[in-house]
Amino acid sequence: MVQVRWEGFGGDLERLQVQLEHLLHVAEGRAALLMDFAGRLLTLAGDSPRFDLTTFVSLVAADFCATRELAQMLGEDQFQSVLHQGEEMSLYMVEVTPGTLLAYLYDRTTTLGLVRYSVQRALPGLAESITAGLGEARSADLPFGDEFADEALEEIERFFDGQR
């Protein structure tokens, strides 16, 4: 199990992990990765890939975003999902919440139909967990008063005045 704590995510990664593991069991997949569109991994369930995970996540995010642009060129808001189907391994990608993405790896032991059906059923729960986690992080932020910006500017001016 790989867990990478997102800065700005205050949620329960274990809950997400359980949801992804259930999805893997139901759809007989190899790995499920949750990431953001910038290519930062939130968490991974299933088999850890035998390749550079950072590069993989970055490429998946870039691929999904590029496909989104293609959809707009064709007059669509976006494609609901992206599929790369290989002889042995396949990759199914879908947006979970605005800015987050699920990449689902599976092999020939399962079918695209089962993967698509299972992922669609899992999306509302995953979205709820991610949204709640992002909301927890926002509510934990310390609010600054209006006078904070004025005080910060005064301190910066004092600092630079002392440098002359």
The helix/strand/coil state of 4 is coil
Residue 136: pLDDT band with limits 50, 70, 90: low
CATH code for the domain in which residue 116 is found: 3.30.450.30
Q: How confident is the model over 34-65, as pLDDT tens digits?
A: 998 888 888 889 987 788 888 999 999 999 98
Q: Which residue has the higher pLDDT, 134 or 128?
A: 128
Residue 23: pLDDT band with limits 50, 70, 90: very high
**Residue type at 118 in one-letter notation:** S
What pLDDT is attached to residue 102?
96
DSSP secondary structure string for all residues of 77-97 = S--SEEEEE-SSEEEEEEEEE
Q: How confident is the model over 72-123, as pLDDT tens digits?
A: 999 998 888 999 999 999 999 999 998 899 999 999 999 999 999 999 999 9
Residue 8: pLDDT band with limits 50, 70, 90: low
What pLDDT is attached to residue 2?
47
What pLDDT is attached to residue 158?
73
Q: Which helix (H) or strand (E) holds 105?
A: strand 100-107
Q: Which residue has the higher pLDDT, 87 or 9?
A: 87
Distance, CA of 56 to CA of 62 (rounded, Å): 10
Q: Which helix (H) or strand (E) holds 30?
A: none
Q: How confident is the model over 139-164, as pLDDT tens digits?
A: 444 455 556 666 767 777 777 776 65
- Residue 38's domain comprises 2-163
- The pair of structure tokens assigned to 89 is 């391994």
How many structural domains is the chain composed of? 1
Strand order in the sheet with 2-3: 2-3, 41-46, 31-36, 100-107, 89-97, 81-85
